[in-house]
Amino acid sequence: MSDNPRHPSSSPAIAGDPEIRQRRVRISLIWLVPIVAALVGLSMVVQNWLSAGPQITVSFLTAEGLEANKTQVKYKNVVIGRVTSITLSEDRTRVAATIELDQNTEAFIREDAQFWVVRPRIGASGVSGVDTLLSGSFIGADPGDAAETQREFIGLEAPPPVTFGVEGKRFTLQTSDLGSLGIGSPVYYRRIPVGQVVSFTLDEDGKGVAVQVFVNTPYDDFVTADTRFWNASGVDVSLAADGFKVNTQSLSSILAGGIAFRAPNYSTTTEPAAEDREFTLFNDMARAMAPDDGPARYVQMRFDQTLRGLNVDAPVEFLGVPIGRVVSVNLDYDEHNKSFPVVVGAVIYPNRLGAAHDKLLGLIEGSDEERSAQLIRGFVEQGLRAQARTGNLLTGQLYISLDFAPRAPAMVFDPHARPLVIPTIPGSFDKLQEQLQAVVDKLSKLPIESMANNLDGSLSELRKTLEQVNSGVLPQLQSTLERSEQTLDNANQALADGSPQRQQVGDTLEEVQRAVRSVRVLTDYLSRHPESLIRGRGNAESPASFKGGSTSRELNTESQ
């Protein structure tokens, strides 16, 4: 039995089966909060796992503007991922940014996809990335279309000039050097920007540069098989007979360089060129638009004179028509004459002679090279000579002129020599110098010192004579002039109105007049009666009776 009064039923249990009571478990409402939080977190994890895209690594030279868990990845200003971590490479030369992309971004893991950091940039082609001044830098992405995929990329240090989806064509231009061109340099068609330079590479042999350009649609249809490309960088300044000319495409081409293209006016080809076609990049528009020059011929010329002012690319003209250019100017040594002649190498294009070249070659048989050599031989026999002439008096630039000199001495020309050597004659400027030197030599032989001494003596004598004139002759001359003036005054006073002298002069003049009249009457009478000189005057009428009564009476009175 039990002594515990609180369990009165404990004693009856001894007689029967024991009774078992179940205790209720009561859950507190406070446990609902962590359970709901766990469910929400689990749903977010599942949602992130379901929405998570591929993870890639992009390496850059610097992490400037990049922050983990903050820097976004954008395509066309749409967020497609985020940078999760930034680490240094093993060689510590680059930084690796781990990027988690969103779903449906498989195009950004293709091997030709591109990534770059968008920062504020100021260049010759313009200003870009201004919006990042407030929002911060972000990584720009450009999808690819390659079949292969990868997870590690090398980021670009500058935005690509042509992004994915832009329609157009790429062309390759071959040139000897890059000049002022660069990635992003504009491409012009009739001064309209229609594309840009996207890349350039050095040729395998190192003797040229391949420039790749992209021309946007629809302007790519204007690129045909006959299209000519030329370097439109900088300013083209020329001074010719028609005035001063300045030519440039735009201010951007002056700063960043540029390329222009156009088909010649005589071209009839309208079919667009295929993509990746290769063209030649000319140095200027004049060379680009020139007709096809045909095969080139290398010739040499040997000058026994100084050629200061003759540079490489100087023109070579035949009767005023440009047919080539100078490619080399080198010194040689003549052991026989102990002199240093100048050997000029030039490339000429016989096809530039046009119809004259075709007609002349039609008269000669053989291969093209043999006919060209025989043609030059015939010209040399007729007096063809090379001469260095002055092209610009201001700059002193020279050019090579091929012209006929009938008085030139005969020269031996070998048409089988390679290269062909064209004989030369001294330039016109050199002849002028020789003539001036001859004049100077003659002047130097003159007895200038003795002539100067004689001139000095003559000048001394002249000085003494002038002193005598000033001291003696001039005062006497002045006094004579004064006396003459006084005499004239006296004469004027004597001949004044009412003076006796003037009355006497008047009477004298009247007497002279009457005497002259009497002589004239007598002469007339004698011409009619010459016998009166012998017989004397008879009873005939007086000599002046026919002249009037007054005159007859005067004559009778004078005769009595």
What are the tens digits of pLDDT across the range 83-120? 999 999 888 899 999 999 988 888 899 998 999 998 87
Residue 362 has pLDDT above 70, yes or no: yes
**Domain ranges across the chain:** 35-154, 168-289, 297-438, 500-533+541-559
Which has the higher per-residue pLDDT, 109 or 366? 109
Average pLDDT score, the chain: 80
What secondary structure, in 3-state letters, does 504-544 show? HHHHHHHHHHHHHHHHHHHHHHHHHCCCHHHHCCCCCCCCC
* Residue 5: predicted pLDDT: 46
> For residues 148 and 523, what is the distance between their CA atoms, to the nearest angstrom?
148
The predicted model gives 504-513 an average pLDDT of 84
- Residue 78 is given by DSSP the state E
Residue 17 has pLDDT above 80, yes or no: no
* Residue 48: predicted pLDDT: 66
* Residue 358: predicted pLDDT: 78
* Residue 232: predicted pLDDT: 85
Of 309, 373, 386, 286, the closest CA to residue 346 belongs to 386
* Residue 245: predicted pLDDT: 57
Residue 318 has pLDDT above 50, yes or no: yes
Of 493, 496, 338, 314, the closest CA to residue 401 belongs to 314
* Residue 27: predicted pLDDT: 61
Which has the higher per-residue pLDDT, 136 or 80? 80
> For residues 401 and 382, what is the distance between their CA atoms, to the nearest angstrom?
16
Range name among 27-36, 295-304, 325-334 with the lowest pLDDT average? 27-36
Of 401, 207, 369, 386, the closest CA to residue 298 belongs to 369
What are the tens digits of pLDDT across the range 140-159? 999 988 889 999 999 988 88
- Residue 161 is given by DSSP the state S
Q: Work out the percent of the chain whose per-residue pLDDT is above 70.
A: 80
> For residues 71 and 419, what is the distance between their CA atoms, to the nearest angstrom?
67
Asked whether the beta carbons of 139 and 267 are under 8 A apart, the reply is no
- Residue 332 is given by DSSP the state -
* Residue 218: predicted pLDDT: 93
Task: Output the pTM of the full model.
Answer: 0.53
Instruction: Return the number of other C-beta atoms located less than 10 Å from residue 525's C-beta.
Output: 20
What are the tens digits of pLDDT across the range 433-473? 666 777 777 777 778 788 888 888 888 888 888 888 888 77
Residues whose CB falls within 8 Å of the CB of residue 387, separated by 6 or more in sequence, listed in order = 400, 401, 402, 403, 405, 424, 425, 426, 427, 428
The predicted model gives 339-350 an average pLDDT of 91
Of 445, 309, 319, the closest CA to residue 382 belongs to 319
